[in-house]
Amino acid sequence: MSAVPRSGDNTAPPLATTVAIVGCRDSQTTSRDDLVAIEEPLEINVLLNPESGAREADPSFTLSITMRSPGEDRALATGFLFTEGIIHSLEDLNEIRTPNPAVGKYQLKNTIQCSLNPNISFDYKRFQRYFYTNSSCGVCGKTSINALSLIHKPQLTPDHPKIGSKLMRSLPQCLASDQPHYQQTGGLHGAALFSPDGTLISLQEDIGRHNAVDKVIGSELLAGRASFDNLILLLSGRAGFELIQKALAADIPVVASIGAPTSLAIDMAKEHGMTLIGFLSGSGFNIYSGRERIED
């Protein structure tokens, strides 16, 4: 059994802060306060087992340093480990802790340490990256193009789930109404999971679109979810390759984005039988892959 509690962070740090600005409108300038999204680094470490071959004096491996919105750090780390194929369920995690004291202007704990169960094989050399990534991106910082291939082979069921086009068109409004920090700052991406009947299951916001996806997947893992194979992932921005890669790692069959998909995202969705939708709005959408899951 995993020792990781099936819950999110105990406290919610601020996602926005107030700054003094000068607004210019119609040749008029006005001094006022404005809310902006907070951006802070998070170092994700993995505690290495003796079998890893690591030096005894260096028992942990820095997997990623990501710029993120504070809060839901445990969900972010859990989702990142999952979408990178390091863990396959919450049971593979022994402990998640924040070993260092709170620091900085916002008094945040900016290091998170993940301990894997002893039976999990973690080849840390396979995950060597450049030192910094701007979000928990499955591509950012990889040192070889060959490292971009999927570790997890998706198990998507053809024609499942079936989703009505009317229901799909209703999802953007659900996302918009449940993104309070985006409405305040205009600076956060959103990722949401929906059931096939349109029920909102989970929504997360972050300055990084990759972080938002990892947070929404990680939060559901921490809540005890074992499978994502009948869910819809909705993205507030564009759908790039790395986000499709993360969705496929979770066996998510349907991904929809408010913005455009990229060519590589479309290729990957087609290759693995995923339904990929772009330019989703209340008036319509484009289907780039997996037409068979969408009903008129």
The answer to whether 212 and 189 are in contact (CB under 8 A) is yes
* DSSP state letters, 262-291: PHHHHHHHHHHT-EEEEEEETTEEEEEE-G
Q: Is residue 288 part of a domain?
A: yes
Per-residue pLDDT tens for 92-112?
A: 999 999 988 888 888 899 999
Please, what's the largest Cα pairwise distance for the chain?
A: 66
- pLDDT for res 185: 84
| Active-site option among 24, 114, 137, 140 | 137
In a domain, 17, yes or no: no
Whether residue 32 is contained in a domain is answered as: no
270 and 172 in a common domain = yes
What digits encode the pLDDT tens for the residues 204-260?
999 999 999 999 999 999 999 999 999 999 999 999 999 999 999 999 999 999 999
Q: If DSSP codes are grouped into helix, strand and coil, which group holds residue 215?
A: helix
Strand 163-164, strand 28-37: pairing:
unpaired
137 is catalytic: yes
Domain-embedded: residue 30? no
99: domain range? 40-148
CATH number of the domain enclosing 248: 3.40.140.10
What is the model's pTM? 0.88
Question: Residue 28: inside a domain, yes or no?
Answer: no
